[in-house]
Amino acid sequence: MKKVALYVRVSCADQHVESQLYDLRKLAAQRSFEVVHEYEDRGISGNRARRPGLDALMADARRGRFSVILVAAFDRIARSTKNFLEIVDELNNLGIEFISASEAIDTTGAMGRLFITLIGSIAELERSLISERIRAGMRRSRADGVRLGRAPLQVNRAALLRDRQRGMSLNQVARAHKISKASVCRVLREEKAAVSRSHLPTDSIFSDNNQVALPISLV
């Protein structure tokens, strides 16, 4: 019975790996593989060459803990063709088979190696085309006068600063002005930066974590 390792990855922290694991466990059982370990990376992009789960997988591969690696799809292991082929090359040198469930291809033969190269290149090209379409759309939106990014914060800054100087907490200021605590902190940081650039006489206001210097004329 061959010993197999399962590797799963999701890009967003709120996504789940359970569906990938379910399919890989089922495939391992169908092939009479013994699952020795399951490695996972959550909330990490496949563009990153170094990942805790992947690093642990490769370290155990070098120790000979298993002879097969199962993944749900090529892009779970890596998104760039270069990184993907580097990993597969090392696995081949270690005598470890690489099997992708979605593509139904393994690296045990020359044909499998050819498919891996072709599919990896096509996937990378597709991602490049998607990125270019997104950039083109953003350029078109700017040309049409569409504002991109976060909308300006609608708040009476002078009143917010006065409330803060009077001793209101960040949470109290946020509730009074119907904005988030993070937005309050952003206003305070921006005012501190503005004061430091202007060199105006200042009075001191303390946030929960930072001292913020404000012009006397504002308070």
Instruction: Please list, residue by residue across 117-154, b when 16 or more beta carbons sit within 10 angstroms of its beta carbon and e when fewer do.
Output: eebbeebbeeeeeeeeeeeeeeeeeeeeeeeeeeeeee
Residue with tokens 């006489």, as numbered in its chain: 201
Amino acid at 20: Q
Q: Kindly state the DSSP code that residue 216 receives in the 8-state scheme.
A: G
**Burial classification of residue 217, based on how many CB atoms lie within 10 Å of its CB (0-12 exposed, 13-18 middle, 19 or more buried):** exposed
> Cα–Cα distance between 12 and 25 in angstroms, integer?
22
**Candidate list 11, 67, 183, 207, residue with the active-site label:** 11
Q: Is 11 marked active-site?
A: yes
Q: What ranges in the chain are assigned the alpha helix state H?
A: 18-30, 52-62, 74-77, 81-93, 110-143, 157-165, 170-177, 181-198
Sequence-separated (6 or more) residues with CB below 8 Å from residue 144: none
Q: Which residues are catalytic?
A: 11
